[in-house]
Chains A and B, each alone.
Chain A
């Protein structure tokens, strides 16, 4: 009896072990699933996203990609919720908000060990500004975007004005705009900047709104360089060579610049971006591209951006997630998006194959991609973007409305120091400098 029981027990244990082994074996063979939240756009449309997944899975049968294509309006809320809860965030996503950065995985070691991809493969400025944070590599820059001046050659020819060249100054810009302006033809020479401390502020005098340690406003926002930049704006508004904010609001494309006026030939020059450049090219506009003007003795800056493709720090599969990230935001994935969509890749070797890459205007665009970026102020300083810019917007409005005289610029900026300092002191302890 005892023997029979032992025999049965051994049989049972053996069966259980076999079962466990088979389950374990199956688990080992199951592909790892990586979740990916992304957005569809003209640059990266849904077919391109699907093609990236298909190509990656074909190369990596042991990794499955569970992609969710979201509406942009919902994306921020969902990321905030998931990151705030500490669970349910995707393995891979765009981490574009600064408060999301502490929740990204440090991929420095992964990238250094990657035989197929390195930081040198990317445009240096884009990598430094969009992939590196706090001394760590926290993502890869996906696509490139930049502002530059597009000039309508037909308008210049009509007015008998020479085309601008890369060595032009902000004051040249005003003079050229005045020369191009023709009220009879309802034509303005150039547009106005759409916010302070963008490229032209830096190009006039390396102007910053506050100190590098995010502690002091006085002497920066009201310093001589800032006064020079705001005075330049005053001169531009006073010239009458630019559309008013009301004109831009009505006739320009929603929030992104007066591309419609430019295409219609009613604006000789406009500070636009690469998306507008393709729109103008498709519309058959005869145009050229130059960097925004700068003072020759100062370094040239460009207002630029990229999407930060990152891995969530809470991922259970960091190695597999990196495999996909480096594919999607590496040469293969960005090339797929360029060929199916209209993405401009952040890798020079891939962007060189863009359909219009040999054209004059595209070469002009390529010229701005290596310039130093103003991104440090626009994106990396959340307190500037949120609290401080709001407290200094009054100077901007006063100049745009023509409510102050030229010699009142300094006093107007002096008056901003106190509210800007208060905003900075409230924000920095909360969001960091």
Chain B
């Protein structure tokens, strides 16, 4: 880097300095609000710390406990993984379907787009409270509608087998946000490709599989990573609605982290949990990134 700097002309150096100056607000923010806290978290994960007393160095004890004698670590990881497996395909597929509908050229489409996007900007707590009403077993909207067709709806959040699927179903609520991203991707697909395919006699289904889907894969790739990270961070629903129950069915990883940090005053162990989640998310992201060469197609 130093040799590259020496090889620059004075004019290039001035340009580089301006560039670094322009970058500096972000760099300062990154160092203060991201890099330093991550490093601090790593340090605290090697300590026993109650927040109000000085941290005590305990080496790898928190990690040993996590991997060898903490059943809640396993159950929270299991609940979170199940949630990711359920909610991620739901959001990706339904988001795409919604985007295809919102891409139709019919009157009033801008209004529909706005309406479908609105849920994505509503606070998670408000949405959670609303879903409690939706899925209330006796008087909720969903079970009332089911009762009209003779179906006795489940106890949803309060049923051992339905609690986690209920939270996954709830995550669909924000699918409008994903749909808007897909919509941008759809509108970037050149119209002449569709025209050529139509002239060649390709039907709607074939055009979707041969043109739309391949050219939408960069957007799908982006959405997959964003939704994956978002799904691993599931917290609000457990905090507001289920409190991790029943029987730990929705005891998600971040909820466990929260309880350890702020209810159990075990900030050292909570730091270790946070770092583990960081590694898991990073690992999944790298995996998706590495495989993207096989299924993501760029127009050029």
Q: Which residues of A contact B (CB under 8 A)?
A: 76, 80, 83-84, 97, 99-100, 102-103, 244-247, 249-250, 382, 385-387, 390-391, 393-394, 397-398, 400-401, 403, 419, 422, 426-427, 430-431
Given contacts A385-B263, A390-B259, contact A401 B52 (CB under 8 A): no
Inter-chain CA distance A394–B137, complex, in Å, is 22
Task: Decide: A397 near B247, CB < 8 A? Known: A99-B51, A103-B52, A246-B157.
Answer: yes
Do B158 and A398 have beta carbons less than 8 Å apart?
no
A80 neighbours in B (Cβ, 8 Å): 51-52
Asked if A386 contacts B53 (CB within 8 A), the reply is no
Contacts of B71 in A (CB 8 A): 419
Q: Inside 8 A of A431's CB, which chain B residues have their CB?
A: 50, 265
For B137, what are the chain A residues with a Cβ–Cβ distance below 8 Å?
Answer: 244, 246
A397/B69 contact (C-beta < 8 A), A80-B51, A246-B158 known: no
Least CB separation from A398: chain B residue? B247
**B124 is an interface residue with CB less than 8 A from chain A:** no
Among B65, B155, B160, B265, the residue within 8 A (CB) of A246 is B155
Say yes or no: A393 contacts B50, CB within 8 Å: no
Q: Contacts A244-B158, A419-B71: A397 and B52 contacting too (C-beta < 8 A)?
A: no
B contact patch SS: loop
Q: Which residue of A lies closest to B129 (CB)?
A: A254
- Is there an interface contact between A430 and B248, defined as CB atoms closer than 8 Å? no
12 new A-B contacts at CB < 8 Å, known A80-B52, A249-B157, A401-B247 = A84-B52, A84-B53, A99-B53, A246-B155, A246-B158, A249-B158, A249-B241, A386-B266, A387-B264, A397-B247, A401-B246, A426-B65
Q: Tell whether, in the assembled complex, residue B158 and residue A245 are in contact, meaning their CB atoms are under 8 Å apart.
A: yes
The closest CB in chain B to the CB of A80 belongs to: B51
A sample of 13 cross-chain residue pairs with beta-carbon separation below 8 angstroms, ordered by A number, consists of A80-B52, A84-B51, A246-B136, A246-B155, A246-B156, A246-B158, A249-B157, A385-B263, A394-B247, A397-B245, A419-B71, A427-B264, A431-B265
Cβ B265 vs Cβ A99 within 8 A: yes
Q: Which residues of A contact B50 (CB under 8 A)?
A: 99, 430-431
- Let me know if A250 and B158 touch, CB within 8 A: no
For chain B, give the interface size range.
20 to 34
- Proximity string of chain B (16-28) to chain A, C-beta cutoff 8 Å, 1 when within and 0 when not: 0000000000000
With both beta carbons as reference points, the residue of chain A lying nearest to B65 in the complex is identified as A426
Rounded to whole angstroms, the CA-CA distance of A99 and B265 in the bound complex is: 8
User: Are B69 and A246 in contact, with the CB atoms below 8 A?
Assistant: no
Check if A422 sits within 8 Å of B158, measured CB to CB: no
Give me the 4 closest cross-chain CB pairs, A-B, nearest first.
Answer: A386-B264, A246-B158, A83-B52, A250-B136
CA distance A187 to B232 in the complex (A): 41
Are B51 and A422 touching (Cβ within 8 A)?
A: no
Quick one: closest B residue to A390, CB to CB?
B259
Chain B, residues 263-280, CB within 8 Å of chain A (1/0): the string is: 111100000000000000
Contact call B138/A246, Cβ cutoff below 8 A = yes
Point out the residues of chain B lying under 8 angstroms from A249, CB to CB: 132, 136, 157-158, 241
Is there an interface contact between A382 and B246, defined as CB atoms closer than 8 Å?
no
Which chain A positions have C-beta within 8 A of B11?
A: none
B48 at the interface (CB under 8 A from A): yes
- Closest chain-B Cβ to A433's Cβ sits at a distance in Å of 14
Residue of B nearest to A395 (CB): B247
Closest to A418 in B: B71
Q: How far is the CA of A76 from the CA of B263 in the complex (A)?
A: 11
Chain A at the B interface: mostly helix, strand, loop or mixed? helix
In the complex, A250→B159 CA distance in Å? Answer: 15
* Alpha-carbon distance between A310 and B71 when the two chains are bound, in angstroms: 38
Q: For the complex, what is the distance from the CA of A247 to the CA of B140, rounded to whole Å?
A: 10
Contacts of A102 in B (CB 8 A): 52-53
Residues of B within 8 A of A390 (CB): 72, 259, 264
Interface contact A394-B158, CB-CB below 8 Å: no
Q: Give the interface centre of B159, B160, B247 by most chain A CB atoms within 10 Å.
A: B247
Q: Is the CB of B132 within 8 A of A250?
A: yes
Indicate whether B139 reaches chain A with its CB closer than 8 angstroms: yes
Contact A247 B265 (CB under 8 A): no
A83 to B137 Cα, complex, angstroms? 45
* Distance of A45 Cα from B259 Cα, bound (Å): 30
Nearest chain A residue, comparing its CB with the CB of B243: A393
| Distance between A29 CB and nearest chain B CB, rounded to angstroms | 37
Closest to B69 in A: A422
B133 at the interface (CB under 8 A from A): yes
Chain B CB within 10 Å — which of A103, A245, A250 has the most? A250
CB distance from B286 to the nearest CB of A (A): 33
Distance in angstroms from B252 CB to nearest chain A CB is 14
Known: A84-B51, A401-B246, A401-B247. A250 touches B263 (CB 8 A): no
B136 and A394 contacting across the interface, CB-CB below 8 Å: no
Contacts of B52 in A (CB 8 A): 80, 83-84, 97, 99-100, 102-103
Q: Which residues of B contact A100 (CB under 8 A)?
A: 52
Q: Which of B218-272 contact A (CB under 8 A)?
A: 241, 245-248, 259, 262-266
List residues of chain B with CB within 8 A of the CB of A76. 262
> In the complex, A410→B155 CA distance in Å?
27
Task: Write out the residue numbers on chain B whose beta carbons fall within 8 Å of the beta carbon of A387.
Answer: 264
Distance (whole angstroms) from the CB of B37 to the closest CB of chain A: 14
**B267 CB to nearest chain A CB (Å):** 9
- On chain B, the residues within 8 Å of A84 by CB distance are 51-54
**A403 pairs with B160, CB closer than 8 A:** yes
Contacts of A400 in B (CB 8 A): 246
Chain A residues in 8 Å Cβ range of B51 = 80, 84, 99
Chain A residues, CB < 8 A from B245: 393, 397
Q: How far is the CB of A92 from chain B (nearest CB, A)?
A: 17
Residues of A within 8 A of B248 (CB): 394
Q: Which residue of A lies closest to B256 (CB)?
A: A390
Which residue of chain A lies nearest to B158 when distances are taken between CB atoms in the complex?
A246
Q: In the complex, A345 Cα to B136 Cα: how many Å?
A: 39
Tell me which residues across on chain B come within 8 A of A397, comparing CB atoms. Answer: 245-247
Q: How many angstroms from the CA of A143 to the CA of B105 in the assembled complex?
A: 64
Chain B 143-157 interface residues, beta-carbon cutoff 8 Å to A: 155-157
In the docked arrangement, what's the CA distance between A174 and B259, Å?
34
Contacts of A422 in B (CB 8 A): 69
Measured in the bound complex, the distance between the Cα atoms of B157 and A287 in whole Å is 33
